[in-house]
């Protein structure tokens, strides 16, 4: 019976032996072949196919190391995202789950020598949150999926809307209580001790039906007013705690100027977004993931995908890359050049750069298009403007 016959005793024995993990010292990453013992590994190293793979690797060794490193990183992060989500977990636990797969990429074929080096690299690149403890290194996956970010934004918006509705209801109750108590002098009943001068004298009580009714009604009104005011105070306290505990208390009487300034501040806060990419702006590539060839190079944004990702064209080489906004930063030109506002109240307006304030890390521009043409805007942060192509 031949060696490779289907369901032969020798074929079944080979299948049983090939299951599970084998020793790492008998694995050839270049050929992706796992040997079962030292003799078979030695025979594999002397084979013609292995020698050809070594000749190919010797021509460009860095290319193979980069390929294996990229595959290792991709599979490791995919396992971390799928199985552990955004939970904080020990890196050894994730690594043991990863190497339990028989066809995994071995770390000795990558650019990282140890798991600690790989964990530190994940933290430097911003792919995971890492931290060292007495038990070891912990990692936490950072989910940058646009759908997840959109879902979180919707939850925050709904929470804010619920708080706004609660505040409106509290203010309405407060107005109603104050309106009901205006112009009414509510007298609370005075309670005194019952004393009898003559012990033989009989005690008589004369109850005035109208007076008692009015006193009871006024007492009931005051109690309701106090309960309503307590509800209002609780709602206001809850509102303040939900936003931030360090906010100053609002004054009862505000001038028109104070109200206008508050509206302007709220408008600036609500107009900011966590994404800033726009087509036809010049950006700088700050990630080292692509190597020194593209690090610190300038590029033009040609297309924006899902708000957080852009297709850029490198100036000079003309290469096109797909990068996340965290791997890019804005470019501030010399005064007199055209810029585009990327975030804040004046988002989307083109302007001319007037001056640069290095101490405050801000610029001053003059808008040259749209209904705000000629308007001068000061103290715009560096990350909110970028040079136009």
CATH number of the domain to which 71 belongs: 1.10.10.2030
Strand order, beta sheet including 320-324: 320-324, 309-314, 298-305, 282-285, 328-330
Which residues have a Cβ under 8 Å from the Cβ of 141 and sit 6 or more positions away? Answer: 77, 80, 81, 84, 85, 86, 127, 128
Contact call for residues 262 and 270 (beta carbons, < 8 A): no
**66 pLDDT higher than 90:** no
Contact call for residues 33 and 53 (beta carbons, < 8 A): no
pLDDT value of residue 341: 92
Whose tokens are 């708000």? That residue is: 307
Which residues have a Cβ under 8 Å from the Cβ of 273 and sit 6 or more positions away? Answer: 343, 347
pLDDT value of residue 191: 63
- Domain of residue 52 covers 38-141
Residue 344 falls in which region: left (phi positive, over 0), alpha (psi -120 to 50) or beta:
left
pTM given for the model: 0.35
How many CB atoms sit inside 10 A of residue 331's CB?
17
pLDDT value of residue 350: 92
- Residue 32 covered by a domain: no
Specify whether 66 is located in the same domain as 110: yes
> Which of the two residues, 339 and 7, has the higher pLDDT score?
339
- Residue 241 covered by a domain: no
- Residue 212 covered by a domain: no
The beta-carbon contacts of 197-201 under 8 Å, at least 24 apart in sequence, are none
Specify whether 321 is located in the same domain as 366: no
Among 331, 350, 376, residue at a domain's last position: 331
pLDDT value of residue 386: 93
Compute the distance between CA of residue 350 and CA of residue 10 in angstroms, rounded to an integer.
75
Residue 380 maps to which CATH number?
2.30.30.30
Specify whether 71 is located in the same domain as 111: yes
**120 pLDDT higher than 60:** yes
Q: Report the pLDDT averaged over residues 254-263.
A: 64
**284 pLDDT higher than 90:** yes
Specify whether 81 is located in the same domain as 46: yes
pLDDT value of residue 317: 86
Specify whether 325 is located in the same domain as 354: no
Specify whether 44 is located in the same domain as 99: yes
Contact call for residues 130 and 120 (beta carbons, < 8 A): yes
pLDDT value of residue 235: 55
Specify whether 280 is located in the same domain as 365: no
Specify whether 81 is located in the same domain as 104: yes
pLDDT value of residue 274: 82
CA angle, 259 then 260 then 264, to 5°: 115
Compute the distance between CA of residue 70 and CA of residue 66 in angstroms, rounded to an integer.
6
Domain tally for the chain? 3
Q: What is the DSSP letter of 60?
A: -
CA angle, 299 then 302 then 306, to 5°: 110
Torsion sign, CA atoms 174, 180, 186, 191: negative
Q: Report the pLDDT averaged over residues 316-322.
A: 88
Poorest-confidence range of 116-125, 144-153, 223-232, 256-265?
Answer: 223-232
How many CB atoms sit inside 10 A of residue 107's CB?
22
Compute the distance between CA of residue 388 and CA of residue 333 in angstroms, rounded to an integer.
9
Averaging pLDDT over each range in 20-34, 94-108, 370-384, which range is the top one? 370-384
Contact call for residues 123 and 112 (beta carbons, < 8 A): no
Ranges of beta strands (E only) in 51-119 are 88-90
Q: Counting beta carbons within 10 angstroms of the beta carbon of residue 263, is it exposed (0 to 12), middle (13 to 18) or buried (19 or more)? A: exposed
Poorest-confidence range of 87-96, 100-109, 288-297, 324-333?
Answer: 100-109
Give the residue from 99, 102, 100, 104 showing the smallest Cα distance to 68: 104
Q: Alpha-carbon Rg of the chain, whole angstroms? A: 36
Specify whether 132 is located in the same domain as 49: yes
Q: Report the pLDDT averaged over residues 328-352.
A: 90
pLDDT value of residue 371: 80
- Tell me the per-residue pLDDT of 164-216, one tens digit each, with 9 for 90 and over: 777 888 888 888 777 776 655 555 566 676 666 666 666 666 665 544 444 44
- Residue 29 covered by a domain: no
Which residues have a Cβ under 8 Å from the Cβ of 377 and sit 6 or more positions away? Answer: 341, 346, 351, 364, 365, 366, 367
**248 pLDDT higher than 50:** no
**252 pLDDT higher than 80:** no
Contact call for residues 248 and 176 (beta carbons, < 8 A): no
CA angle, 141 then 142 then 146, to 5°: 130
Residue 296 maps to which CATH number?
2.30.30.140
Give the residue from 323, 333, 287, 286 showing the smallest Cα distance to 303: 323
Specify whether 132 is located in the same domain as 47: yes
Contact call for residues 386 and 330 (beta carbons, < 8 A): yes
pLDDT value of residue 52: 76
């Amino acid at each position: 019976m031949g060696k490779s016959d289907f369901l032969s005793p020798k074929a079944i024995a080979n299948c049983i032996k090939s299951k599970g993990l084998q020793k790492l010292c008998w694995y050839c990453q270049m050929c992706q072949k796992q040997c079962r013992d030292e003799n078979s590994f030695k025979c594999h190293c002397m084979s013609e196919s292995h020698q050809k793979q070594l000749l190919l690797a010797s021509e460009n060794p860095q290319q193979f190391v980069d390929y294996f490193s990229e595959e290792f990183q991709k599979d490791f992060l995919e396992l971390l995202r799928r199985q552990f989500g955004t939970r904080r977990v020990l890196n050894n636990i994730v690594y043991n789950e990863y190497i339990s797969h028989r066809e995994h990429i071995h770390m000795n074929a990558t650019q990282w020598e140890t798991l600690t080096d790989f964990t530190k690299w994940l933290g430097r690149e911003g792919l995971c949150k890492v931290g060292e403890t007495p038990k070891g290194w912990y990692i936490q996956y950072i989910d940058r999926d646009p759908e997840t970010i959109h879902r979180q934004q919707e939850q925050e918006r709904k929470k804010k809307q619920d708080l706004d509705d609660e505040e409106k209801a509290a203010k309405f109750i407060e107005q109603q209580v104050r309106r009901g108590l205006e112009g009414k002098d509510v007298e609370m009943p005075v309670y005194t001790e019952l004393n009898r001068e003559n012990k033989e004298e009989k005690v008589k009580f004369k109850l005035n039906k109208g007076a008692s009714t009015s006193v009871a009604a006024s007492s009931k009104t005051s109690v309701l007013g106090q309960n309503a005011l307590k509800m209002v105070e609780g709602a206001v306290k809850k509102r303040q705690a939900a936003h931030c505990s360090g906010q100053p208390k609002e004054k009862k009487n505000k001038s028109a100027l104070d109200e206008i300034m508050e509206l302007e501040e709220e408008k600036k806060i609500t107009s900011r977004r966590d994404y800033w990419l726009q087509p036809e702006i010049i950006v700088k590539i700050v990630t080292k993931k692509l190597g020194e060839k593209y690090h610190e190079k300038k590029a033009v944004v040609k297309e924006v995908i899902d708000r957080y990702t852009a297709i850029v064209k490198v100036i000079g080489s003309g290469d096109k890359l797909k990068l996340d906004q965290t791997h890019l930063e804005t470019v501030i030109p010399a005064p007199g050049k055209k810029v585009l506002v990327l975030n804040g109240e004046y988002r989307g307006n083109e302007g001319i750069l007037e001056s640069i304030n290095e101490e405050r890390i801000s610029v001053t521009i003059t808008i040259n298009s749209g209904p705000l043409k000629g308007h001068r805007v000061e103290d715009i942060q560096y990350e909110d403007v970028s040079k136009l192509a």
